[in-house]
Amino acid sequence: MQYFLAVIGGGPAGYTAAEKALKAGKAVVLFEKDTLGGTCLNVGCIPTKTLLYSAKQYYNAKHADKYGVTAQDVEFDYGKMVQRKQKVVRKLVAGIKQRLKSDLCTVVNAAAKVVSRTDEKVIIEAGGEQYEAANLLICTGSTNFVPPIPGVKDNPAVWDSTDALAATALPASMIIVGGGVIGMEFATLYHELGVPVTVVEAMPSILPNLDQDIVKILRDKYEKSGIRILTDTKVMSLDGGKVTAQTAEGEKLTLEAEHVLISVGRRANITGLEALTDMEMNRGIVVNDMMRTNLKNVYAAGDVTGKIMLAHVASRQAEVAVGHMLQQIPVQRIAYNAIPSVVYTNPEIASVGMLEKDLQDIPHEVRTLPMAFSGRFVAENEGETGLCKMIIDSKHKTVLGVHMIGNPCSEFVAAASFAVRMGYTVAEMEQVVFPHPTVSEILKEIL
């Protein structure tokens, strides 16, 4: 039998692609060597957010007096938090299995290897069997990057995010190497559960790819509450939990903790694709706007493309790829200028569109408004600071970017994405009615 589509990888890109092709009545074979759901569901977004929610419950209970509630002897059980995380993951993985249940869909639980390819068909081997498909979509994802720092490899004190999520007990203390998204989310988790945390970041700022006025609010709060943050500081070597680092001025620092979390980025997984010798690669698999590689019937989506490593980007890329295979009209593309991103710190950061620093050549106006302009924010965020920043094109008055800090901005950044994606002007945004009282009204107040 020849399948219409072979998908390698069952993460957000892979299962979204399979579902879309199945809905169009096409036969699909999907290969997953591990567990359906990929990094996001099993060892990424979902387990992290589940643990972070438990930590937030503990934090809120401890600080309940701010809201006139007395809670004494507040305690937590990390083992129970981990068990609940597992339960959430199991439930969602079962949901993916259910979504792929179809006479047209074969799920192969084995590592796939491309055997050969022509413009007419791709042959794939998995679990000792061969499968033939007209199109191939590579969604093999990424793995945590292990930097070539002496003492990192084979060091039992070193964790990556997968190790951290698997641990059933909290570390006594933690050094986090890399103050990016993973680093700051784990800093939040451990800090809220009382673990002493030090973050070491090589760049002049944590979360260097975000709006720096927003990041400063987070950093100020975290430093005040006891997280040690060292920026412009490079880790030179490790010995167990002992870390030697060097500041930009050349000062040597020695730090020590029970565990060291390495979170310095992720790299594309390309094992099993060796037979595709002519496929163009750089940081990942090179694709065009329709997610097609330089090989006619081979597409790639998600982290393996090395573009923006976010689950929601992966699933949209998969939709675009399958839409192209199905020759759907109009041709779909991804609006890379309107990809929202969220950092699940406490408070959350949510952002979409262009950053001020990238707009030097475009005349623009920057509006900022403290979140305290929202009544709901004030009611629910005692003593917290938040900020909304909107970047507007001076000529056309369109919204180019929105950057926010303050809970629960992750829940309404989609409204800002809509504005950026559709190229709404300030006058058009003004016509939108926001429910009152919600924190989302900040997007109206700022206009």
The footprint of ligand NAD (CB under 6 A) covers 147, 177-183, 185, 200-203, 208, 234-235, 263-266, 309-310, 341-344
Shortest reach from residue 34's CB to ligand NAD, in Å: 18
436 is catalytic: yes
DSSP 318: H
Angle between helical axes of 12-23 and 311-325 (0-180°, round to 10): 30
**370: β partners:** 387
SS3 content of the chain, % helix, strand, coil (to 5): 35, 25, 40
Closest distance of CB 70 from ligand NAD, Å: 34
In sign, the C-alpha dihedral spanning 190, 196, 201, 206 is positive
- By beta carbon distance, the residue nearest ligand NAD is 180
Smaller CB separation from ligand NAD, 11 or 323: 11
The CB-of-242 to ligand NAD minimum distance in angstroms stands at 15
**Least distance to ligand NAD, CB of residue 255, Å:** 12
Pairing of strands 197-200, 28-31: unpaired
Q: In the chain, what is the greatest distance between 2 CA atoms, to the nearest angstrom?
A: 69
- For the record, the structure tokens of 274 come out as 């060796």
CB nearer to ligand NAD: pick between 235 and 391: 235
Is omega for the bond preceding 330 within 30 degrees of 0, making it cis?
Answer: yes
Closer to ligand NAD at the Cβ: 269 or 297? Answer: 269
> For 264-347, where are the E strands, in sequence order?
266-268, 298-300, 341-343
337 Ramachandran zone, left/alpha/beta (phi>0; psi -120 to 50): alpha
- State the Cα torsion 342-343-346-350 to the nearest 10°: -30
Residue among 183 and 272 whose Cβ is closer to ligand NAD: 183
CB 230 within 8 A of CB 198: yes
Nearest to ligand NAD of 114, 181 (CB atom): 181
Enter the tokens of residue 305: 């493309």
The answer to whether 176 touches 233, Cβ cutoff 8 Å, is: no
Nearer to ligand NAD, 233 or 374 (CB): 233
The active-site residue, picked from 63, 259, 312, 436, is 436
- Residues 349/215, Cβ–Cβ less than 8 Å: yes
The angle subtended at Cα 186 by Cα 284 and Cα 188, nearest 5°, is: 135
Residue whose tokens read 């070539």: 148
Q: Which two tokens stand for residue 178?
A: 């890399």
CB of 208 to ligand NAD, least distance (A): 5
**Token pair of 70, please?**
């007395």
Minimum CB distance to ligand NAD smaller for 102 or for 143 = 143
Q: Calculate ∠ Cα 82-87-90, nearest 5°.
A: 125
CB of 123 to ligand NAD, least distance (A): 32
Give the integer Cα–Cα distance in Å for 293 and 271.
17
CB 331: neighbour CB atoms within 10 A?
Answer: 11
Q: Give the nearer residue to ligand NAD in terms of CB position, either 25 or 148.
A: 148
Shortest Å distance, C-beta 268 to ligand NAD: 11
Report in angstroms how near the CB of residue 17 gets to ligand NAD at its nearest: 20
List the catalytic residues. 436
